[in-house]
Structure 1
Amino acid sequence: MLWKISILEYNLKTHNTSVDRPQTIVVLAMSADGKIADKTRSPARFSTPVDRSHLEQQVAEADGVLFGAGTLRAYGTTLSVSNPQLLQLRSQQGLPLQPVQIVCSSSVEFDAELRFFRQQVPRWLLTTATGAQRAQQSSIAGSFERILLVQTDQGKIDWNNALRQLVNLGIKRLAVLGGGELVASLLAADLIDELWLTICPLILGGATAPTPVEGEGFSLHLARHLELLSVQTVEQEVFLHYRRQGS
């Protein structure tokens, strides 16, 4: 099943997004109790083919796909666009067949044998000066077409700077695929515009199982409020589309 909305249809919509950064959309599947993986943090493979089709649609609509180091290490790969209709739509719009796959990591500790490094996709790295040096000295040297240095004075990734660099490089629509720490960092910096959350019919439980937003969390008066744009139920899954209030 192909998710019904097409790239052409989506691009006709208007968006209130700052011109100095991409429109940023989080796309995650979670259990009914709000977990994106089990207590061992193994890859979350509990969604249905319908949700995977939906995820591929969101990837196909993006100029870039952003995910954290933990997500890459857990899955060892990334989702590329393979549906012929979606590939044709990207081609008709003059887009590259595959969006840029952007990994963010300060440590850049990756196994060079991960299938990700053999996939036919453009790969970029968002990192710090230390991470860039490690990448250039490691077995993955040359695996990234572009390395972006986006470091704060404290040696962490500067997300405002990162998104400014991305939009200047042609990334106008950015799909964020996890994990929870990355989403928390972007939310804390008010850099997320929309969320697509798929609720899957299972309970994982456990205090150590990750959620869509990790980190320290927000107090009630600092909570990020959302506007519900749509709800769709397909078989046993519920697809929720939110926009951050104020976007």
Structure 2
Amino acid sequence: MVDSNQKRPQTSVVLAMSADGKIADVQRSPARFSSSVDQTHLEKQLAAADAVLFGAGTLRTYGTTMSVSDPQLLQQRLQQNLPSQPLQIVASLSAKIDPQIRFFRQEVSRWLLTTTPGARRWHEGLEFERILVCEAPAANGIDWVSALQQLANLGISRLVVIGGGELVASLIADDLIDEFWLTVCPLILGGADAPTPVEGTGFVSEQLAPRLELLSAEVVNQEVFLHYRRQRVKD
């Protein structure tokens, strides 16, 4: 675990899942099962953020990212002297992303968070405004503690994570998530290989599992909106 008081963005995970805890079906198709109420909820969370972080797998699945379109939310960002759209940050070890997907034609600012080999793929391209290399010193991966510190140093104070499960697991492993907004949708997807909100290797016992504090629970039509805060031991 890392020092929760380190300089880094306030980081929230925002995800919709089935009643059995799946964020997509076994074929990892784009998840379209949440309601318009949940889409409005997601847009509200994005509008309050400086940046949105998601994995390349999520981007490959959807080919695009969600932008803020509600006039009131856009006006709120304008009043706060923020760009109309939050910064979009793609995280990927390999950075193998099709440059022809719609994402690169959206009117948003794009950054890439990757490794040295991944950065080489885009070195001469104009698709990303900034490429951040944050390699873990002893492993083939991203140093998330350093990455979030860099984001804070670049002016990002509010970060929203929208998937996938491997990315969320990596951030949880370094105790870098502060809040979870989870929407439970009324369907069962099943499948041992269907993705869940948190993938990775998991925790070996419930004693080591991160604990959450439930801040609110709201039922709207057939969906349940849960808001959790990460519990941490106070000094």
TM-score clears 0.5 = yes
Q: Which runs of 4+ in 1 moved over 4 A?
A: none
- Give the Cα separation in 2 of the matches to 1:19 and 1:158: 14
Partner of 1:192 in structure 2? 177
- Give the Cα separation in 2 of the matches to 1:230 and 1:220: 23
* Residues 98 and 18 of structure 1, relative CA distance in 2, 3 Å threshold: farther
Stretches of structure 2 that go unaligned for 5 or more consecutive residues are none
Give the aligned length.
228
Q: Does 1:148 align with 2:127?
A: no
1:1-247 matches, within 5 Å, as 18=5, 20-136=7-123, 141-153=125-137, 154-218=139-203, 219-246=205-232
Q: CA deviation at 1:216?
A: 1.0
Structure 2 counterpart SS, 1:147 = strand
- Give the Cα separation in 2 of the matches to 1:155 and 1:134: 17
Structure 1 counterpart SS, 2:59 = helix
Q: CA deviation at 1:19?
A: 5.6
Q: What TM-score comes out, normalization by structure 2 length?
A: 0.95
Residue type of the alignment partner of 1:92 = Q
Residue type of the alignment partner of 1:46 = F
Residue type of the alignment partner of 2:218 = Q
- Give the Cα separation in 1 of the matches to 2:140 and 2:164: 20
Q: What TM-score comes out, normalization by structure 1 length?
A: 0.90
RMSD: 1.1
- Give the Cα separation in 2 of the matches to 1:35 and 1:181: 13
Q: Deviations over 1:64-101 (max 9, x none)?
A: 00000100000000011110000000000111111100
Residue type of the alignment partner of 1:224 = P
Structure 2 counterpart SS, 1:221 = coil
Structure 1 counterpart SS, 2:88 = strand
